[in-house]
A and B are shown apart, each in its own frame.
Chain A
Amino acid sequence: MEAADFEQVGLEGGVELYIRRDRRFKSARVDLFLPTLLREKHNTRLALIGRLLERGTRSLPDLQSLNRFLDDLYGAGFGAEVELLGDFQILHLGLEVVAGRFLPGGEDLLERGARFLREALCQPFQEGEGFSRAYLRQEKSALALHIRSLFNDKTAYAQRRCLEEMCRGEPCALPAHGDARDFRGISARNLLGFHRRLLARGPIAVFATGQVDPEQWVGLCRELFDWERAPEAPARPSLSPAPATPREICETQEVSQARLVLGYRTGIALGHEDYPSLALFNALLGGDAQSRLFRRVREEAGLCYYIASHLEPLCGLLFIEAGIEGDAYARAREQIDAQVEALRQGEIAPGELERARGLLRRGLWTLDDSREGLVRFYYQQRLAGCWRSRRQVEHRLEGVSRQDVARAAGRVALDTAFFLCPAPGAPRQ
C-alpha cells in the first residue's frame, strides 16, 4: 500500500494544509488557493486584486522593494495569479524558495518566504482604508492593455470565443481577466473591502511540497493563518445541456491560417462515475500525437497543421481545436464528426484502448516528478468535491471497457462550432 501523496491538516478557520515532503527537490514550494465562483463584475475585481497583491505590501511598499526582497531570497519565485477552473475563479499565490542546505550561507528561506506570503495576501500596501489609488489606476490601465493584447494570440482567442459563445450566461463563460467596462465602479476602497470579505469567507487550501519539514510547517502555519474566518462553500450551478441544433459561428480576421474550435458538452464532470470513461474517450480521440484526430485528420487526410482535444473537468466540457486552411472547414468538420461517431459506435481496437489507458496511467504515476502537476491534480478534485488518490483513480481506469467508452462518447454532444477565418472569403459550406 502506497503512502498518501499528501499529509492533510485542518487548521482553525477552515484553512486546509496539504503537505508533501520530497527530498528530490532543491526547493520548497507553497501554493495557496482561494477560490470564488465566477461572477460578472466580481471577476474584474479579483483580476485587479491579483495584480495589486504583486505591487507591494505593508513592509515592502512598492514593486521595487518587493522584487528586491525576492532577489535577496535567491530569486524566490512569487506570483499572485488569477486563474480559471471551470466555473471557479481562483486567486493562486505561489512561492518557491531554494532550501538553505544548498546555499553558501545555509540560511533558511522558507520561513521568511512564508511570512512574506502571508503579508502579501493579508496586508497589501494600503492608503487609508483602501488599496493605493495610484497602484489601482496603473493596474487598471495595465489590465486593459493586457486584455487587448490577448487578441494577438489567435489560437487562444478562438478558444476563448468558442467558450464565450457556448456558455453565454453561465459562470464558466466569464474571463479570468474581467472586463475593462467594470472599472468605473471599482474604487481603491471598495476593492479592499471586497478583498477583506474574500479573506474572511473564501475556503483556503495551502499545498507545501519539496524541502519542507511537516511539523515545522504546520507550526508556522498555525501562527500565520491567525485571522478570524467563516468560510462559505459556494453553490455551483448545475451543468447545462447542449442545444438541439449546434451553433455555428464564423468570424473573419487577417490571419494566414484558420482556427476551428468545437465545443461539446458531456454532462460528465470530474467526480462523476463515468469520468474515467470520458477521460479515455478524450485520450483516444485527441489526447496525444497517436490519437484518432492526429492520425486520421492531420496525418492521413492532411487537413490541418495541429489538432487536439482536451477536457474541461469541472464543467464537463470537451474541446477540439485545429489549425486548418480557410477553405477546409466543411471537410475538417466531416472528418472530425466521423472520428467521434466511430468511437460512439464502439469501433475501438483492443490495442488502441490499452494504449490510451497506458497513457493515462503513466500520466498519473509520473505526476509527482513535477510538483505543480501533482498539486493541480488534487486541487482540481478538491474543487470538484471529490478526493481520490492516484491509486484509486488508476483502479477506476482499469475497469473501463470499450462499451463504457462508447457510452461516454454517446453523451458527448456538440454545442458550438467556432471558426476564425482568414479575410476575405467566408467558409464555403
Chain B
Amino acid sequence: MRRSEQALLGERVWGDTLPCGLELYLVPKQGFRSSHALLVVGYGSIDRCFVPPGNAAAVEVPDGVAHFLEHRLFAGPKGDVGELFASLGAEVNAHTTFTHTAYFFSCADRLEECLALLLDFVFALQLTPEGVEREREIIARELQLYGDHLEWVSFFSALQSLYGGHPLGVDIAGTPESLRRIDREVLELCHRSFYHPGNMALFIGGDIEAEALREVVNGLMEDRGFAPRSGLRRLACPDSGGGPRVMELPIAVPRLCLGFRDREAGLRGGDLLRGELALELALDILFGASSDFYARHYESGLIDAESFGCEVYAEPEFCFCLVGGDTRHPGLLQEALLEELRRARRGDLIERHLARARRRAYGQLLQRLDQVESCVGLIHSAISRGGGPFDLFAAHEQVGVAQVYACLDTCLDPDRCQRSEVVPSGEEG
C-alpha cells in the first residue's frame, strides 16, 4: 500500500489498487465512533456517449440513466438496501453528480458487514418491468419537486446559459421526456459498462486498521471474481454553448446568476487543483465577505448575506464558476459585478489581498478534517480529479499571485459571461 502523509496535521492516507482494479483509500481517524465509506463509480450525468467495453461502435443513451441506476440499485437483490443497512445500524445514501455516482454509508460498528453489503448491491442489478416503471414514476415526481426549488432551478438555468443542450445543461435526473426512453436494455448496458471495479474507487475513514481492512476489502472483491478490464471509452458530447436564460417561479425576489466558463478546461491533478484554488482566491478577493464590493453593495442593499455568493466547479471535463444571488435589481447587480472584474484587471487588488485570502482558505480547508465524512470527501475530491490525497493542501503552498491573475483572463472574463435569471411569476413579488 502507498502511504501519503501530512506531517504537520498528523493525517495519513493509505492507497492501493486491488488486483480487480478497484482503487482503495483508507483514512484512519483515531477516536471517532462512526466510520464512513464512500464508493465512487466513474459514471455521471455527462456520460451520454461512450463506447462500451468490447463494442466497436459508440452508443448514445438518454439523459438521466446514471441517476436512474443509482435509484434502482437501492431495490437490491436481497431486499431494500436502506432497510438492510438499517438492520446493521447504518445509514446509507447515494447521489449522482455530473461526473460520478457515489454510494456512501456511516456506521457505528459492523463496518465489515456494511462493506460486504455495499459491495454486494452495487454489482447486483435486478430489473423487473414493474420495478423500472415504478422508479420512473418516483423520479418523475422528484423532478417535479425540484421544479419548485429555487436553488436547483437557478443552478440548472445557469448551466443552460453556459452549456445549452450539452448534458451539463440538463438536470442530472434527466427530463420527463428522456425518462420515458430509459428501459431495461439501456440500464443493463450502462451498468455493465461502468460498474466495474476498474472504474471505481472506495474510500473508508474512521477508527480503522489500514492493513487489516485492505485484506477484508480485497477478500470481498476476490469473491466476486472480477478480472481487470479495459476498453471503456467516454466520448465528449457536442458543445454549442448556451445563451441568456430567464425562468419564472413563484418567488418574491429575483435571483441573478452570472456564469463563466474557463478556457483552460481539460486540466487534471495538481494543475486542476491549483487552478481551482486560484479561482476561489480571486472570487474571494473580489466578491467575498471581506471585499470592497461586498461592503459597498451589502450596505446599498443590492445584495444580501444569505444568498449572495460564488461557486467554482472544476473537473477534468469542465470548469466554470457561478456568481450571484437574490437582488431587487438584477441589471444593476450584473453591471456592478462586471465592473468589479474589469477593475481587478487594471489595479492591484489581487496583490493587496492575496495573503489574507490565503490564510482564510487554508484555515477553512483544515476545518474540513474535523469530521470523518468531510475528511473522506476531501481526500476523494483530490483523488477523483487526478491528484494525490493531500494535493489540496499542497496547492496552498504553490498558488501565487500570477496564477490568480491568470484566471481573471482564462475564466472571469466579463466579455464571456452568461446571464441567467429567475424572476417572480404571477402576482407574487
Chain B proximity of A260: nearest CB distance (Å)? 13
Q: Report chain A residues within 8 Å CB of B366.
A: 26-27, 74, 98, 102
User: Contacts A152-B150, A359-B86 known; A305 to B138 CB distance under 8 Å?
Assistant: yes
Q: Which of B80, B250, B370 is within 8 Å of A25, CB to CB?
A: B370
Q: Which of A24, A146, A254, A369 is within 8 Å of B30, CB to CB?
A: A24
Task: Please encode chain B, from 1 to 33, with 1 for each CB lying within 8 Å of some chain A CB and 0 for all others.
Answer: 000000011000000000000000000011111
B181 at the interface (CB under 8 A from A): no
Name A255's closest neighbour in chain B (CB-CB).
B148
B277 at the interface (CB under 8 A from A): no
Roughly how many angstroms separate A370 CA and B288 CA in the complex, as a whole number? 27
A240 at the interface (CB under 8 A from B): no
Name B303's closest neighbour in chain A (CB-CB).
A142
A73 at the interface (CB under 8 A from B): yes
Chain A proximity of B424: nearest CB distance (Å)? 10
Cβ A75 vs Cβ B360 within 8 A? yes
Q: Report chain A residues within 8 Å CB of B289.
A: 63, 67
Cβ A362 vs Cβ B108 within 8 A? yes
Q: Report chain A residues within 8 Å CB of B328.
A: 145
Cβ A68 vs Cβ B356 within 8 A? yes
Which of B59-67, B265-273, B290-298, B402-410 touches A? B290-298
Roughly how many angstroms separate A77 CA and B134 CA in the complex, as a whole number? 45
Q: Report chain A residues within 8 Å CB of B359.
A: 71-72, 74-75
Name A306's closest neighbour in chain B (CB-CB).
B145
B213 at the interface (CB under 8 A from A): no
> A49-107: which have CB < 8 Å to B?
54, 62-64, 67-68, 70-77, 96-98, 102-104
Cβ A72 vs Cβ B356 within 8 A? yes
Which of B187-195, B225-233, B304-312 touches A? B304-312
Q: Report chain B residues within 8 Å CB of A70.
A: 290, 360
A368 at the interface (CB under 8 A from B): yes
> A232-250: which have CB < 8 Å to B?
none
Name B150's closest neighbour in chain A (CB-CB).
A152
Cβ A68 vs Cβ B290 within 8 A? yes
CB < 8 Å A-B pair total: 164
B219 at the interface (CB under 8 A from A): no
B199 at the interface (CB under 8 A from A): no
> A127-154: which have CB < 8 Å to B?
134, 138, 141-142, 145-146, 148-149, 151-154
Chain A proximity of B348: nearest CB distance (Å)? 17
Cβ A75 vs Cβ B91 within 8 A? no
Q: Report chain B residues within 8 Å CB of A149.
A: 251-253, 304, 306-307, 326
Task: Please encode chain A, from 356 to 400, with 1 for each CB lying within 8 Å of some chain B CB and 0 for all others.
Answer: 001100100110111000000000000000000000000000000
B112 at the interface (CB under 8 A from A): no
Chain B proximity of A41: nearest CB distance (Å)? 23
B369 at the interface (CB under 8 A from A): yes
Cβ A257 vs Cβ B145 within 8 A? yes
Q: Chain A at the B interface: mostly helix, strand, loop or mixed?
A: mixed
A171 at the interface (CB under 8 A from B): no
Residues of B within 8 A of A (CB-CB), count: 66
A339 at the interface (CB under 8 A from B): no
User: Contacts A27-B370, A257-B144 known; A71 to B252 CB distance under 8 Å?
Assistant: no
Cβ B360 vs Cβ A71 within 8 A? yes
User: Contacts A71-B356, A75-B364, A76-B363 known; A64 to B292 CB distance under 8 Å?
Assistant: yes
Cβ A145 vs Cβ B253 within 8 A? yes
Name A23's closest neighbour in chain B (CB-CB).
B31
A288 at the interface (CB under 8 A from B): yes
Q: Report chain B residues within 8 Å CB of A370.
A: 371
Q: Report chain A residues within 8 Å CB of B250.
A: 253-255
A355 at the interface (CB under 8 A from B): yes
Roughly how many angstroms separate A256 CA and B294 CA in the complex, as a whole number? 35
Roughly how many angstroms separate A421 CA and B29 CA in the complex, as a whole number? 47
B361 at the interface (CB under 8 A from A): yes
Cβ A365 vs Cβ B108 within 8 A? yes
Cβ B141 vs Cβ A257 within 8 A? yes
Cβ A142 vs Cβ B370 within 8 A? no
Q: Which of A138, A305, A355, A366 is within 8 Å of B141, CB to CB?
A: A305
Q: Report chain B residues within 8 Å CB of A290.
A: 82-83, 86
- Beyond the given pairs A76-B363, A145-B326, A366-B33, 4 more chain A to chain B contacts, judged by CB atoms under 8 angstroms and listed by A's residue number, are A97-B363, A149-B253, A149-B307, A323-B141
* Pairs of residues from A and B, 7 with the lowest C-beta to C-beta distance, nearest first: A74-B363, A75-B360, A75-B363, A67-B290, A148-B252, A71-B360, A254-B250
Q: List 22 A-B contacts (CB under 8 A).
A: A23-B31, A24-B370, A26-B366, A26-B370, A64-B290, A70-B360, A71-B290, A72-B356, A74-B359, A97-B363, A98-B363, A104-B8, A151-B428, A154-B148, A256-B145, A257-B147, A290-B83, A299-B80, A302-B134, A302-B137, A306-B145, A366-B34
